[in-house]
């Protein structure tokens, strides 16, 4: 059989070379070399290219992945690694870091400042053996999407150079004498999979385009457009559209509140006209998300938030429904209810609920908690309601729309604001698409947050004192190095310096410890780990403040008053608690904060991490197992993925998300929320036969236990294909696939937070 070499020359097939490649990839692994080679040979044909032979070997190893045969994940990864080596160097030897950097600068892929390091020292710090930490899905993900390529799409970056490039980019604002040292520290936690930055940082760190932040949160003013000093495109509805388009262009996930925009039927004095309300504008918002599609990579990720007293709420909750008047639908955005305590209490007590126009009652937009309730009662007393409805009927409409279309999603305004460390300088009006961000917005400031996650499947609690300070420094550095699409976002981020340190690999961790999701032991373990996590995140911010100064709006914050997240948290049952930090340590930390301040207004946010968890081969964020085994498809074909938690051989603990009583997910989230100063992406999972009243109870439990946010309601249905479901007139639920879950109707994949 003849094969065609990479240079185009024909030659006889070299079986010995194939065997050597498989032997190298299989070293110290429990795999069958003959099975890999035999399966690959079936795909050979006369005239096959050597590159195609290698792809066949990769696919062969990947096809053998199964429960109890997870070493094939590493064999397939190593075979793909060989392919990467050959594409970059035509050899199996890593080029020098200085050569890679020089080449990347010459083709304008990275900044010239990347030569300001001691490149020889960094080259010596690179540990090529860490390439073997990748499983196949992780290596394939990095190869397909993260490694830098030239203008002809030729690969120029090796996996360890990728980690070093990210580390160097984040270290650029360190002092020249310490820059190399910090780049090595950053590289070590990244390349050992202890901490991983979010996708925008991995994509763009060190490059000429350095937009590294994950999430942007804006507010919409009740005007078409107004010129505003210091804001490059004014304020108002269409100014917000422009702002969101810029964030989407540069790969940000976006949340925007629309409560201040007057409702349909309201008077417009300037024209003696009548307002058409927020729905027509949300259709433009929807089309902006589609149009500004990140260079054709995917639609924009836009979320729209509305408070339930707004006069347009009844139409808002139906925005994503699969049928009805198309003029009242906007299916590419994600509507959220910004629910207040009073609404939840009136639903619970089956009382009436008054709807208002935000233009006539702007005080309802600017208050929360008891102050909001006083303003609401006063507006009712003055007879200013535009409509009075049954609170329970509105709630039923919300839950019905959520089940039928995946929206509106539900978050809790008062808990966000009650626990806000920054309530002295504003109000939180909404969260972001993934609902883990909890930051103030105003006409002058749009909130920004950059994210990254500790991987507790490899970073143990004993490692927290070493790893978390490095991670927090990396996140803080991004604030100064970041490219900001707007002046409002730059002003806000430099003033308040919020970051969102998260965590992933939780299910991987608890199963390794022999802990059942549905147990008080799980809740106690959550309490134990997350208290320590919170302590070290806060302490790390203080340590950076000692060196670089505290954030500008610190005075008057809860931090400045010695009020920590644990001080504003709900009291939970004692049987859920297991403290890991002594009262003395907390008091000592309070004293340090008062002495030195905080570097960051916010420190923690638990974001979804599906993509970066795939890279490092662990379970996403705090999610349970979705499926024990599923089929993944990419451009190379289909292959099995075994959930990482299955490697611990505790099948009785490897319950899938749909098998777990959702009340345990909510309780665990409540324990975490005690310690997290922002919020968390908490998905719930609905079996096909679960009724609406049960779903309602889940959200009431979340509210009563002090969750700030929930995220998607993921649903399990029949074996119909997704394409068959969406062809139906009224799809009720979203199919459970053999690939990672479709999230309710149109598969949002907000990689900004991952």
**φ/ψ (deg, to 5) at 46:** -65, 130
Catalytic residue among 318, 432, 440, 683: 432
* Best CA proximity match to 550, nearest among 488, 482, 495, 489: 495
Residue 272 Rama label (left phi>0; alpha psi -120 to 50; beta): left
- Contacts of 254 by beta carbon, 8 Å cutoff, 6+ apart: 215, 216, 217, 218, 244, 247, 248, 300, 301, 302, 303, 432, 433
| 614 classed as catalytic | no
Q: 228: helix, coil or strand?
A: coil
* Best CA proximity match to 481, nearest among 180, 252, 251, 169: 169
Q: Is the CB of residue 180 less than 8 Å from the CB of residue 114?
A: no
Question: Cβ-count burial of 34 within 10 angstroms (0-12 exposed, 13-18 middle, 19+ buried)?
Answer: exposed
**φ/ψ (deg, to 5) at 455:** -100, 95
**How far apart are the C-alpha atoms of 677 and 668, rounded to whole Å?**
16
Sign of CA dihedral 375, 381, 386, 387: positive
| 434 classed as catalytic | yes
Structure token pair of residue 585: 């340590």
Q: Is the CB of residue 525 less than 8 Å from the CB of residue 509?
A: no
Residue 741 Rama label (left phi>0; alpha psi -120 to 50; beta): beta
DSSP-assigned states of every residue in 385-399? -SEEEEHHHHHHHHH
Pairing of strands 637-642, 629-634: antiparallel
Catalytic residue among 194, 436, 445, 531: 436
| 436 classed as catalytic | yes
Q: 268: helix, coil or strand?
A: strand
- Contacts of 487 by beta carbon, 8 Å cutoff, 6+ apart: 230, 231, 232
**How far apart are the C-alpha atoms of 754 and 749, rounded to whole Å?**
9
Q: 207: helix, coil or strand?
A: strand
Q: How many CB atoms lie within 10 A of CB 609?
A: 30
Task: Name the β-bridge partners of 155.
Answer: 149
User: What are the Cα distances from residue 405, in Å, to 309, 326, 691, 714, 744?
Assistant: 22, 14, 15, 11, 7
Catalytic residue among 434, 603, 743, 750: 434
Q: Is the CB of residue 353 less than 8 Å from the CB of residue 345?
A: no
Q: Is the CB of residue 545 less than 8 Å from the CB of residue 596?
A: yes
**How far apart are the C-alpha atoms of 512 and 452, rounded to whole Å?**
23
- Any idea how long the chain is? 754
| Secondary structure element (H or E) that encloses residue 46, with its range | none
HSE, CB side, 13 Å, CA atoms: give it for residue 292. 23
Q: How many CB atoms lie within 10 A of CB 724?
A: 12
**How far apart are the C-alpha atoms of 654 and 100, rounded to whole Å?**
43
Q: How many CB atoms lie within 10 A of CB 126?
A: 19
3 state SS for 697-745: HHHHHHHHCCCCECCCEEECCCCCCHHHHHHCCCCCCCCCCCCCCCCCC
- Contacts of 692 by beta carbon, 8 Å cutoff, 6+ apart: 396, 399, 400, 403
Pairing of strands 253-257, 195-197: unpaired
Question: Hey, what's the torsion of the CAs at 521, 527, 532, 538, to 10 degrees?
Answer: 160
- Which residues are known to be catalytic? 432, 434, 436
């Amino acid at each position: 059989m003849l094969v065609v070499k990479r240079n185009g020359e024909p030659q006889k097939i070299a079986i010995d070379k194939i065997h050597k490649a498989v032997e190298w990839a299989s070293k110290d692994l429990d795999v069958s070399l003959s099975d890999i080679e035999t399966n690959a040979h079936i795909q050979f044909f006369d005239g096959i290219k050597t590159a195609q032979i290698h792809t066949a070997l990769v696919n062969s190893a990947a096809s053998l992945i199964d429960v109890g045969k997870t070493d094939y994940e590493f064999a397939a990864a190593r075979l793909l690694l060989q392919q990467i080596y050959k594409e970059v160097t035509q050899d199996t030897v890593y080029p020098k870091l200085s050569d890679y950097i020089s080449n990347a600068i010459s083709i304008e892929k990275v900044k010239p400042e990347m030569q300001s390091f001691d490149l020889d020292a960094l080259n010596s710090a690179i540990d090529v053996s860490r390439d073997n930490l990748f499983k196949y899905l992780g290596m394939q993900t990095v190869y397909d999407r993260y490694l830098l390529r030239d203008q002809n799409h030729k690969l120029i970056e090796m996996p360890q150079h990728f980690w070093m490039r990210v580390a160097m980019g984040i270290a650029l604002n360190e002092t020249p004498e310490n820059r190399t040292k910090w780049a090595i520290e950053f590289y070590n936690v990244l390349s050992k999979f202890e901490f991983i930055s979010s996708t925008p940082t991995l994509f763009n760190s060190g490059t000429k385009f350095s937009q590294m932040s994950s999430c942007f949160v804006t507010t919409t003013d009740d005007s078409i457009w107004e010129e505003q000093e210091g804001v490059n495109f004014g304020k108002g509805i269409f100014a917000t559209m422009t702002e969101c388009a810029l964030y989407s262009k540069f790969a940000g996930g976006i949340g925007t509140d629309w409560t201040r925009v007057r409702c349909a039927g309201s008077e417009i004095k300037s024209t003696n006209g009548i307002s058409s309300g927020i729905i027509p504008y949300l259709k433009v918002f929807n089309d902006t998300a589609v149009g500004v599609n990140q260079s054709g990579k995917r639609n924009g990720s836009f979320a729209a938030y509305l408070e339930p007293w707004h006069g347009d709420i009844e139409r808002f909750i139906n925005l994503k429904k699969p049928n009805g008047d198309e003029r009242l639908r906007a299916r590419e955005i994600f509507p959220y209810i910004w629910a207040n305590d009073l609404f939840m209490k009136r639903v619970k007590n089956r009382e009436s609920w008054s709807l208002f126009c935000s233009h006539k009652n702007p005080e309802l937009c600017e208050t929360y908690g008891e102050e909001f309730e006083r303003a609401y009662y006063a507006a009712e007393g003055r007879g200013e309601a535009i409509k009075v409805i049954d609170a329970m009927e509105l709630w039923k409409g919300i839950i019905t729309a959520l089940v039928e279309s995946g929206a509106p999603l539900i978050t809790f305004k008062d808990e966000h604001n009650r626990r806000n460390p920054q309530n002295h300088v504003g109000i939180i009006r909404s969260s972001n698409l993934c609902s883990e961000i909890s930051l103030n917005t105003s006409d002058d400031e749009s909130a920004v947050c950059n994210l990254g996650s500790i991987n507790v499947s490899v970073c143990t609690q004993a490692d927290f004192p070493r790893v978390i300070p490095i991670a927090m420094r990396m996140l803080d550095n991004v604030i100064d190095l970041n490219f900001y699409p707007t002046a409002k976002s730059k002003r806000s981020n430099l003033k308040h310096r919020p970051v969102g340190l998260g965590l992933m690999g939780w299910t991987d961790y608890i199963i390794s410890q022999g802990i059942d999701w549905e147990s008080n032991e799980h809740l106690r373990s959550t309490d134990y780990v997350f208290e320590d996590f919170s302590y070290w995140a806060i302490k790390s911010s203080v340590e950076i403040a000692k060196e670089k100064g505290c954030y500008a709006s610190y005075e008057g914050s809860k931090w400045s008053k010695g009020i920590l997240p644990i001080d504003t948290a709900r009291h939970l049952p004692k049987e859920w608690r297991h403290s890991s930090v002594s009262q003395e340590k907390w008091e000592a930390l309070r004293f340090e904060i008062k002495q030195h301040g905080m570097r960051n207004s916010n420190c923690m946010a638990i974001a979804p991490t599906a993509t970066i968890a795939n890279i490092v081969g662990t379970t996403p964020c705090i999610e349970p197992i979705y499926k024990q085994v599923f089929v993944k498809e990419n451009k190379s074909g289909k292959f099995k993925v075994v959930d990482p938690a299955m490697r611990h051989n505790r099948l009785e603990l490897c319950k899938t998300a749909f098998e777990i009583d959702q009340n345990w997910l909510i309780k665990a989230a409540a324990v975490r929320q005690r310690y997290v100063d922002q919020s968390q992406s908490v998905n719930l999972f609905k079996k096909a036969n679960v009724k609406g009243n049960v779903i309602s109870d889940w959200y009431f439990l979340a509210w009563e236990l002090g969750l700030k946010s929930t995220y998607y309601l993921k649903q399990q249905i029949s074996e119909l294909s997704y394409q068959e479901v969406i062809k139906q007139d009224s799809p009720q639920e979203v199919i459970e696939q053999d690939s990672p879950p479709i999230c309710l109707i149109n598969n949002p994949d907000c990689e900004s937070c991952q």
